[in-house]
Amino acid sequence: MKRLLLAFCRDLGLDCVGIASAKLPASILRQLANTPICPLTPSTPSIQRTAESLLPGAQSVIVALFPYYLGNTPLGNVSRYTYSHDYHLLISQYLQEITAWLVKQIPTIKTRICADTSPLSDRYTAYAAGLGFLGDNHNLINSRYGSYVTIGSIITNYPFLPDEPLTAECLHCGHCRQQCPGQCFRPNGSFRYETCKSFLTQKKGDLTRDEIAIIRKTPLIFGCDTCQEVCPHNQGIPITPLLPFQKDPLRVLQTDHIVHLSNRQFSEQYGNRAFSWRGKKVLLRNLSFITDHSDE
């Protein structure tokens, strides 16, 4: 079944698919316990971030990587992962196709799709499935596509043979630590989300002067790609082979694109983009920071 599953995924264009056990190894669970939770994730400390807590009787997790790199083109002012249509929607479509195929093969199978919207720790599960290693910037790094990947999973009660984590590791070159706009990297190897530019561009409400200064360090008004742009593991990687991620890219968002739109109009026009989830008010705020700064 695993061989047939991987063949079906390759037919869909997914060439980085692995299997993790629903029971993550103790070493990974220890890392999870010591990893701070991003304030933007659906997880809370009270939710057990395991496959078994999301699907009773879970045996395996099918993990797929979805590369989104579109080449060494001029950078826009939104993060690379938002250039395409919303990856949550694209990933879900792929996972639904895989689930439908699984049901045809095993009518009694139970599944649950996770597309970056569940308490499941995607990076650690992908690491357990042998799809990459964790960089100093806490991103999953794949040997083919670098860290320019999003992750989707299907939890199932079918006992697929799990893969083994890779023995490869980050080069520890220090580029991400040195270039980080918010200096998020602590000496003990942990990560401080509170000063991460990507987090700050999505944080609602008024920002402090120091937070605004961090956002102004690079042109992006949503997200932050700095640690990925300087990472040696991301040099010379191919563009995504997935056509839905190549379709209709949007790299630049300007004030006059959205300022006159009602919230409903904004949702209709940009609701299929990953940067839209915080609404136009946050985007206009960030645009004002960058625009005001460039005029100084």
Q: Any idea where the domains of the chain sit in the sequence?
A: 2-156, 175-294
Tally the C-alpha atoms within 13 A of residue 213's C-alpha that lie toward its C-beta.
Answer: 5
Q: Cα 85–131–224 angle (5° rounding)?
A: 45
Among the options 116, 210, 256, 295, which is catalytic?
116
Q: Which of 48-52, 224-228, 256-260 has the lowest mean pLDDT?
A: 48-52
- Please report which confidence band the pLDDT of residue 41 belongs to, taking 50, 70 and 90 as the band edges: low
Token pair belonging to 279: 């609404």
- When pLDDT is cut at 50, 70 and 90, the band that residue 45 belongs to is very low
d(Cα 142, Cα 149) in Å, to the nearest integer? Answer: 8
Compute the mean pLDDT over every residue in the chain, rounded to the nearest whole number: 91
Asked whether the CA dihedral 285, 260, 255, 240 is positive or negative, the reply is: positive
Determine the average pLDDT of the residues in 228-245: 97
pLDDT of 238 strictly over 70: yes
Q: Is 104 exposed, middle or buried (0-12, 13-18, 19+ CB in 10 A)?
A: exposed
Contact 94, 152 (CB under 8 A): yes
Q: How far apart (Å, rounded) are the C-alpha atoms in residues 196 and 67?
A: 23
Query: Cβ of 105: how many Cβ atoms within 10 Å?
Result: 12
Evaluate if residue 47 carries a pLDDT over 80: no
| pLDDT score of 75 | 78
Is 116 catalytic? The answer is: yes
CA distance linking residue 218 with residue 77, whole number of Å: 9
The per-residue pLDDT for 31 is: 74
Secondary element (H or E) of residue 18: strand 17-21
Residue with tokens 């479509």: 93
Q: What is the pTM of this model?
A: 0.92
> How far apart are the C-alpha atoms of 135 and 73, rounded to whole Å?
24
**pLDDT computed for residue 51 by the predictor:** 84
Give me the pLDDT at residue 49, please: 61
Q: Identify which of 233, 236, 239, 133 has the alpha carbon closest to the alpha carbon of residue 175.
A: 233
pLDDT value of position 43: 52
The pLDDT confidence band at residue 46, using thresholds 50, 70 and 90, is: very low
